[in-house]
Chains A and B, each alone.
Chain A
Amino acid sequence: MSAPDISEMGWREWLLSERPQSRSQARLGRAYMTWRRFTANQLAVIGLFIILALVFVAIFAGLLAPYSPVVGDLRGARLLPPDWAHWMGTDDQGRDILSRVIYGSRLTLYVIVLVALIAAPIGLIVGTVAGYAGGWTDAILMRITDIFLAFPKLILALAFVAALGPGIENAIIAIAITSWPPYARIARAETLMVRNSDYIKAVEIMGASPGRIIMRHIMPMCISSLIVRVTLDMAGIIIIAAGLGFLGLGAQPPLPEWGAMIASGRRFILDQWWVAAMPGMAILVVSLGFNLLGDGLRDALDPRSSGQ
């Protein structure tokens, strides 16, 4: 597709070319610049590594887990401390905690991916529409947002789960419903910044419809700050999911959800500390990973700091 082809120039020069020959080269070049800014931050790379490890563990849980996560040995293996047979010990039902933590990564990933997929688009649409339309639309959408923001997240999620019934799907819905308002605020703020700029006016005098302007010209300007915020919120989402699990309103037994595991280990916390500590550690590491990743993405994606 490109005239001076990759083999002649070396792929790095091809990507950084000031004169891209095709749409894809321009896009890849831009992505490569972002990647370079991202990898310049070592902590961010560690964060990315942790998240990739989480995904890997979740996909290959069946191969990695040494024991069944739900069936335990009630007679011979109750509450064993960590040793070579059970690296993280066993719980009160004689189940291997390592296996449960490994399978639990699937639930964690399931929760955060679905919450992000539900909450981020809702927030983005509400925020950009409110910001671009202004007037009554803005007032109504933002007051709804304010109402949601007025409740503490966990309490509101608790109320929703209580209404919908316990279970991991309902927990996801409840968390998604409670976590979109900050995204709407961010998207609206970004929209207000760009909506009076000449490049949006230029599209307006092309005769483009408001929907098209929002979708194709305003949303791309909001998306990077939104990605950063969603990534940083992931840690909070994991903790709310674990909190709901801990209170018995999230994943139901015998699902190996990390929060529920901590809840069941609470009874033995003084004598058999590993039952609660191991899933707690998993939550800690994954939350840390998302925070590091989010910080790195902020530096890499922020259009203001990249001189564009």
Chain B
Amino acid sequence: MTAALLAEKVEVVFDQFRALKGVSVEVHPGESFGLVGESGSGKSTLLRAIAGLAPVASGSITVTGKPLGRRRDKAFYRQVQMVFQDPYGSLHPRQTVDRLLQEPLAVHGIGDSETRIRRALEEVGLSSGFRFRYSHQLSGGQRQRVAIARALILEPSILLLDEPTSALDASVQAEVLNLLEQVRRDRKLTYLMVSHDLAVINHMCERLMVMQNGESVEQLTAADLVSHNVAQDYTRRLLKASEGFVRVG
């Protein structure tokens, strides 16, 4: 079985700063794979490098057996889509939800936009009353639903999720995570998900990779995470930190 997504020894350099130092990862089709680590560990950079938004200095990225060139082609974008962290920044402030969802269809010359837009909104649980609103007329959770609808409207098979819930309230977080779960089941999607929240990763992903300073620390399964079956000290510290503050004395 070919991997849905295979990154080998990917290096990303920004002005002499090595943000990624030869990271490799393999995601199987239909799997949900998590990337965890503290801020600046390079997890988002890896995601952006796969999406073509960060400059890859060396290494290779393969999507369903097809190696990617320096420039991504349109077929790639129909296969891989991304949901950004901040729903307040990822929707164009001058466009209605309708325009936002229309745009990917127009770019790829897909007709039948009327039914597709209606279906996309329905899928993420937004009524048609939201269709002609501007993003400033939506709440954070609603915005993220629109962002998910926009990513799904091209019917990709791989979804890159860059901390999709960290900018949202706790109650809304659960809703959005359940929506993502639901969509993955319905469409048999592959997820590559970045989060600093181990609980979210544990809930969503079967396997995960811990990252630090642009390098991979170790790869685990969700079961390992629950049973604290980890090899590296760094992961242990991360687990400890995620349990919250411990009252001393």
Q: Which residues of A come within 8 Å of B, CB atoms?
A: 18-23, 25-26, 30, 197-199, 201-209, 212, 216-217, 220-221, 303, 307-308
- Cβ A202 vs Cβ B150 within 8 A: yes
Contacts of B82 in A (CB 8 A): 202, 205
Query: What's the minimum C-beta distance from A198 to chain B, rounded to whole angstroms?
Result: 4
Contacts of B92 in A (CB 8 A): 199, 203, 217
- Cβ B104 vs Cβ A206 within 8 A: yes
**Once bound together, how far apart are the Cα atoms of A21 and B150, in whole Å?**
20
Name 27 A/B residue pairs within 8 A (Cβ), A-sorted: A23-B98, A23-B132, A26-B134, A30-B134, A197-B89, A198-B84, A198-B86, A198-B89, A199-B89, A199-B90, A199-B91, A199-B93, A203-B103, A204-B53, A205-B51, A205-B77, A205-B80, A205-B81, A206-B81, A206-B103, A207-B74, A208-B103, A209-B107, A216-B103, A221-B94, A308-B134, A308-B136
- Cβ A19 vs Cβ B129 within 8 A: yes
* Given A198-B89, A206-B154, 17 extra CB contacts under 8 A: A19-B129, A20-B96, A25-B132, A197-B89, A198-B84, A198-B90, A203-B107, A206-B104, A206-B107, A207-B74, A207-B78, A208-B103, A208-B107, A212-B107, A217-B92, A303-B94, A307-B136
- Cβ A23 vs Cβ B108 within 8 A: no
Within 8 A of A (CB), among B53-100: 53, 72-74, 76-78, 80-82, 84-86, 89-94, 96, 98
Query: What's the minimum C-beta distance from B20 to chain A, rounded to whole angstroms?
Result: 18
Q: Which of B82, B130, B150 has the most CB of A within 10 A?
A: B82
**Once bound together, how far apart are the Cα atoms of A23 and B97, in whole Å?**
10
Interface string of B142-186 (1 = CB under 8 A from A): 000001001000100000000000000000000000000000000
B137 in the interface, Cβ–Cβ < 8 Å? yes
B188 in the interface, Cβ–Cβ < 8 Å? no
Contacts of B134 in A (CB 8 A): 26, 30, 308
- Cβ A23 vs Cβ B96 within 8 A: yes
Contacts of A206 in B (CB 8 A): 77, 81, 103-104, 107-108, 154
**Once bound together, how far apart are the Cα atoms of A26 and B133, in whole Å?**
7
B22 in the interface, Cβ–Cβ < 8 Å? no
- Cβ B72 vs Cβ A202 within 8 A: no
Known contacts A201-B84, A202-B147; is A19 also within 8 Å of B103 by CB? no
**Once bound together, how far apart are the Cα atoms of A207 and B132, in whole Å?**
24
B interface residues, tally (CB under 8 Å) = 37
**Once bound together, how far apart are the Cα atoms of A204 and B96, in whole Å?**
18
- Cβ B132 vs Cβ A20 within 8 A: yes
Contacts of A21 in B (CB 8 A): 132
B30 in the interface, Cβ–Cβ < 8 Å? no
Contacts of B129 in A (CB 8 A): 19
Contacts of A220 in B (CB 8 A): 94
B52 in the interface, Cβ–Cβ < 8 Å? yes
- Cβ A26 vs Cβ B84 within 8 A: no
**Once bound together, how far apart are the Cα atoms of A199 and B93, in whole Å?**
9
Output the nearest chain B residue to A25 by Cβ-Cβ distance.
Answer: B132
Contacts of B74 in A (CB 8 A): 207
Output the nearest chain A residue to B91 by Cβ-Cβ distance.
Answer: A199
Contacts of B90 in A (CB 8 A): 198-199, 201-202
Contacts of A208 in B (CB 8 A): 103, 107
- Cβ A303 vs Cβ B93 within 8 A: yes
**Once bound together, how far apart are the Cα atoms of A197 and B88, in whole Å?**
10
**Once bound together, how far apart are the Cα atoms of A18 and B130, in whole Å?**
9
Contacts of B72 in A (CB 8 A): 207
Query: What's the minimum C-beta distance from B216 to chain A, rounded to whole angstroms?
Result: 24
**Once bound together, how far apart are the Cα atoms of A19 and B94, in whole Å?**
16
Query: What's the minimum C-beta distance from A124 to chain B, rounded to whole angstroms?
Result: 15
Contacts of B86 in A (CB 8 A): 198
Query: What's the minimum C-beta distance from A218 to chain B, rounded to whole angstroms?
Result: 10
**Once bound together, how far apart are the Cα atoms of A212 and B107, in whole Å?**
9
Output the nearest chain A residue to B52 by Cβ-Cβ distance.
Answer: A205
Query: What's the minimum C-beta distance from A11 to chain B, rounded to whole angstroms?
Result: 17
Output the nearest chain A residue to B83 by Cβ-Cβ distance.
Answer: A202
Contacts of B89 in A (CB 8 A): 197-199
Contacts of A308 in B (CB 8 A): 93, 134, 136
Contacts of A197 in B (CB 8 A): 89
Output the nearest chain A residue to B98 by Cβ-Cβ distance.
Answer: A23
**Once bound together, how far apart are the Cα atoms of A103 and B19, in whole Å?**
67
**Once bound together, how far apart are the Cα atoms of A205 and B137, in whole Å?**
25
Within 8 A of A (CB), among B90-139: 90-94, 96, 98, 103-104, 107-108, 129-130, 132-134, 136-137
**Once bound together, how far apart are the Cα atoms of A307 and B136, in whole Å?**
9
Contacts of A204 in B (CB 8 A): 52-53
Query: What's the minimum C-beta distance from B160 to chain A, rounded to whole angstroms?
Result: 9
**Once bound together, how far apart are the Cα atoms of A30 and B94, in whole Å?**
10
- Cβ A207 vs Cβ B96 within 8 A: no
Known contacts A18-B137, A20-B132; is A205 also within 8 Å of B53 by CB? yes
